[in-house]
């Protein structure tokens, strides 16, 4: 008789849906919804409500496009993310832990700044409005990067990660009801003061999510060792590398600050000239240069990760500063390149281009819906509240759910490719609206959706204080079906890009790597807004939608290449890089 023990059959796991439902009982999931709701409020206020308010009081699209540059904080949050990779608790709030104490402070500060808009007048003091928006879009991205790190660090399994990613989108998009549907209706009837006070109040109430959230284990128990590339490199190359990248960041920030000051000065500044001349340099200094230096250190000096003590004895203050800066700046980027090799280039390019159409469209949605010129639609605030912030938000949530289900059925990369396609194609629907809606009208007539949508529009007209025009129902039907299609596509694409970026992040560098990749998704679109704002005033909205359609095709091509690359990876390499097609 053989003494070899019999192989035990594998333990059968419950279906994924059952495990996900069980996970919902955890307070982490409730906290995730509330914290994501808090994250969505400042973004909706600065990219949505603020632009609607400015459009209502007569601020031009070109000025709105320039003002939107204050949202570069979302694009460059990775620059200060190293400060929060291993943060200390906020003073006097140590009992909450490092992650939660900072989240609480930021939520209270954001509530105060949102309330500031209620007491501002952009027609008399645009500088105060711009300054408030600038502060919000520094603190809000910081809140986002801390929340992303918390989400990744408290997840105990892949089911947790997927569930928390879906709940993040649910909470984030639910904030759109407050900063969209409810806010626009209240603005229509009671004015903007009440609107911004209401949003500030919701922001203040969201601190409940921070109070019930558990602190990540990694924040409670500080490790004495960590992996770093610093130990494998000679000291004579690390200092020049730090200096080169730091100078690049300072130059890029200087360009942005100078342009914003000039833009709001008496002589103004050209947004298209800024993007054409300085835009490529900003991307080069903040993204390309750090990536090239990191790749050089890996391939030329054969840098590799080594486990070392966090605290090092017998080193000077200069050596300690050099070591800390290197770990903060280079370790996250070098880890990506070391694990993914040339695939890291595709990851960076996809992060830059995948959400271009969403990022650039955000600032001009309200001018297109509410404006009267350049091919805009001339709807009322109540129309937009129903079509975009009720109908549209529901569509976004449905699109997010579709994306989550499809990832489970056909895999991450097919959905990632599909999201890029539909996000680009829906720009043609808006182009059709700007040109008279011939194609949209034909679709409505063919599907017989026009009658129920017109009935819904007639009900919506009762919410507006203005008198509806004779063709109001048909115009609203066009707007609702277009927004529904675009938001379904946007929700699906959001889930796809979130799942893709999360899959390439190393949990050891969660704060920095996810902040880097997520902020890059906003960078190109944000830099392109001033240029497109001037193009709208020169050529109208139709040409802009055609351009964004073709630019969206870049992400489609890159996602197809990445899909092929991942399909050719050996199974063990896929697991090693945490990318799963």
Question: How much of the chain, in percent, has pLDDT values that exceed 90?
Answer: 12
Residue 188 pLDDT greater than 60, yes or no: yes
Choose one of 340, 372, 400: the last residue of a domain. 340
- Segment 60-75 mean pLDDT: 67
What is the rounded distance in angstroms from the CA atom of residue 39 to the CA atom of residue 134?
Answer: 16
Q: Map 456-494 to HEC letters.
A: HHHHHHCCCCCCCCCCHHHHHHHHHHHHHHHHHHHHHHH
Residue 536: predicted pLDDT: 80
Task: Tell whether 75 and 189 lie within a shared domain.
Answer: yes
Residue 4 located in a structural domain? no
DSSP conformational letter for 437: -
Task: Tell whether 466 and 501 lie within a shared domain.
Answer: yes
Residue 9 located in a structural domain? no
What is the rounded distance in angstroms from the CA atom of residue 472 to the CA atom of residue 363?
Answer: 25
Task: Tell whether 537 and 564 lie within a shared domain.
Answer: yes
Q: pLDDT tens across 453-502, in order?
A: 777 766 666 655 555 565 667 788 888 888 888 889 988 888 888 888 88
Task: Tell whether 63 and 192 lie within a shared domain.
Answer: yes
- pLDDT band at residue 581 under the 50/70/90 scheme: very low
Residue with tokens 């903040």, as numbered in its chain? 286
- pLDDT band at residue 238 under the 50/70/90 scheme: confident
Residue 133 located in a structural domain? yes
Task: Tell whether 96 and 52 lie within a shared domain.
Answer: yes
CB atoms within 10 A of CB 121: 11
- Segment 429-443 mean pLDDT: 85
Choose one of 315, 340, 365: the last residue of a domain. 340
Residue-level length of the chain: 581
Helical (H) or strand (E) element with 228: strand 225-228
Give the β-pairing of 225-228 and 306-309: antiparallel
Task: Tell whether 130 and 252 lie within a shared domain.
Answer: no
Q: pLDDT tens across 393-411, in order?
A: 888 888 888 887 787 778 7
> Measuring CA to CA, which residue among 561, 542, 380, 403 is closest to residue 475?
380
Choose one of 312, 340, 368: the last residue of a domain. 340
Inter-axis angle of helices 158-176 and 126-154, nearest 10: 160
- pLDDT band at residue 285 under the 50/70/90 scheme: confident
Which tokens sit at 488? 């379904």
27, 213 Cβ separation under 8 angstroms: yes
427, 517 Cβ separation under 8 angstroms: no
Residue 11 located in a structural domain? no
Residue 1: predicted pLDDT: 47
φ, ψ (nearest 5 deg) of residue 309: -75, 140
The number of helices, as runs of H, and strands, as runs of E, in the chain is 29, 2
- pLDDT band at residue 233 under the 50/70/90 scheme: confident
CB atoms within 10 A of CB 426: 25
> Measuring CA to CA, which residue among 73, 48, 41, 50 is closest to residue 141?
73
- Please state the pTM of the whole predicted model: 0.76
- Segment 358-378 mean pLDDT: 74
Residue 580: predicted pLDDT: 38
Domain holding 503: CATH number? 1.20.1250.20
468-487 in b/e burial notation, b at 16+ Cβ within 10 A? beeebbbbbbbbbbbbbbbb
Question: How much of the chain, in percent, has pLDDT values that exceed 70?
Answer: 81
- Segment 517-546 mean pLDDT: 77
Residue 14 located in a structural domain? no
- Segment 124-131 mean pLDDT: 79
Residue 384 pLDDT greater than 80, yes or no: no
- Segment 335-357 mean pLDDT: 86
CB atoms within 10 A of CB 170: 18
Residue 258 located in a structural domain? yes
449, 357 Cβ separation under 8 angstroms: no
Measured in whole angstroms, how far is the alpha carbon of residue 458 from the centre of its chain?
35
Task: Tell whether 335 and 354 lie within a shared domain.
Answer: no
Residue with tokens 């070098």, as numbered in its chain? 334
Task: Tell whether 185 and 68 lie within a shared domain.
Answer: yes
Task: Tell whether 355 and 405 lie within a shared domain.
Answer: yes
Q: Which of 131-140, 209-218, 319-328 has the lowest mean pLDDT?
A: 319-328
237-270 in b/e burial notation, b at 16+ Cβ within 10 A? ebeebbeebeebbebbbebbeebbeebbeeeebb
Task: Name the average pLDDT for the chain.
Answer: 79
Task: Tell whether 209 and 177 lie within a shared domain.
Answer: yes
Task: Tell whether 160 and 260 lie within a shared domain.
Answer: no
Residue 490 located in a structural domain? yes
What is the domain range of residue 287?
223-340
Which tokens sit at 486? 């675009």
Residue 421: predicted pLDDT: 93
Task: Tell whether 246 and 393 lie within a shared domain.
Answer: no
> Measuring CA to CA, which residue among 198, 192, 186, 196 is closest to residue 382?
186
Residue 158 located in a structural domain? yes
Total domains in the fold of the chain: 2
396, 387 Cβ separation under 8 angstroms: no
- pLDDT band at residue 363 under the 50/70/90 scheme: low
């Amino acid at each position: 008789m053989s003494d070899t023990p019999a192989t035990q059959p594998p333990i059968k796991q419950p279906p994924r849906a059952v495990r996900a439902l069980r996970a919902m009982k955890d307070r982490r999931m409730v906290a995730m919804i509330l914290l994501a709701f808090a994250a969505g409020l400042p973004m909706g206020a600065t990219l949505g409500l603020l632009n609607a308010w400015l459009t209502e009081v007569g601020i031009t699209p070109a000025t709105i496009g320039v003002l939107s540059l204050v949202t570069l904080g979302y694009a460059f949050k990775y620059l200060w993310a190293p400060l929060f990779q291993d943060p200390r608790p906020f003073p006097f709030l140590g009992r909450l832990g490092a992650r939660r104490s900072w989240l609480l402070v930021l939520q209270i500060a954001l509530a105060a700044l949102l309330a500031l808009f209620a007491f501002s007048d952009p027609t008399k003091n645009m500088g105060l409005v711009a300054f408030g928006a600038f502060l919000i879009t520094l603190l809000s991205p910081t809140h986002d990067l801390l929340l992303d790190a918390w989400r990744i660090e408290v997840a105990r399994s892949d089911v947790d990660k997927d569930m928390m990613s879906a709940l993040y989108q649910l909470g984030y998009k639910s904030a759109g009801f407050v900063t969209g549907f409810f806010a626009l209706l209240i603005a229509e009837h009671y004015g903007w003061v009440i609107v911004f006070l209401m949003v500030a109040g919701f922001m203040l109430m969201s601190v409940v999510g921070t109070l019930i959230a558990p602190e990540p284990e990694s924040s409670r128990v500080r490790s004495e060792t960590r992996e770093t590339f610093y130990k494998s490199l000679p000291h004579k190359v690390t200092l020049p590398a730090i200096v080169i990248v730091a100078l690049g960041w300072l130059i890029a920030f200087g360009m942005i600050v100078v342009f914003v000051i000039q833009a709001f000065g008496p002589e103004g500044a050209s947004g298209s000239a800024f993007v054409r001349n300085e835009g490529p340099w900003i991307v080069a200094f903040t993204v390309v240069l750090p990536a090239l230096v990191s790749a050089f250190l890996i391939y030329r000096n054969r840098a590799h990760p080594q486990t070392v003590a966090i605290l090092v004895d017998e080193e000077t203050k200069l050596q300690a500063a050099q070591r800390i800066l290197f770990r903060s700046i280079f370790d996250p980027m070098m880890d990506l390149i070391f694990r993914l090799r040339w695939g890291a280039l595709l990851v960076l390019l996809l992060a830059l281009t995948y959400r271009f159409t969403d990022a650039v469209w955000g600032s001009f949605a309200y001018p297109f819906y509410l404006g009267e010129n350049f091919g805009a639609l001339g709807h009322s605030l109540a129309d937009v509240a129903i079509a975009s912030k009720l109908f549209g938000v529901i569509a976004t949530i449905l699109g997010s759910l579709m994306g989550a289900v499809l990832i489970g059925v056909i895999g991450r990369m097919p959905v990632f490719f599909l999201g890029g396609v539909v996000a680009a194609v829906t720009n043609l629907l808006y182009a059709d609206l700007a040109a008279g809606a011939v194609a949209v009208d034909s679709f409505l007539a063919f599907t017989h959706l026009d009658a129920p949508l017109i009935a819904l529009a007639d009900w919506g007209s009762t919410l507006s204080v203005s008198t509806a025009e004779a063709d109001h129902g048909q115009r609203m039907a066009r707007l609702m079906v277009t927004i529904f299609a675009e938001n379904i596509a946007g929700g699906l694409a959001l889930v796809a890009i979130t799942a893709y970026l999360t899959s390439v992040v190393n949990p050891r560098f969660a704060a920095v790597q996810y902040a880097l990749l997520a902020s890059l998704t906003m960078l190109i679109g944000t830099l392109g807004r001033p240029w497109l704002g001037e193009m709208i005033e020169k050529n109208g909205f139709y040409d802009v939608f055609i351009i964004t359609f073709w630019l969206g095709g870049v992400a489609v091509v890159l996602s197809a290449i990445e899909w092929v690359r991942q399909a050719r990876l050996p199974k063990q390499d896929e697991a090693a890089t945490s990318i799963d097609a």
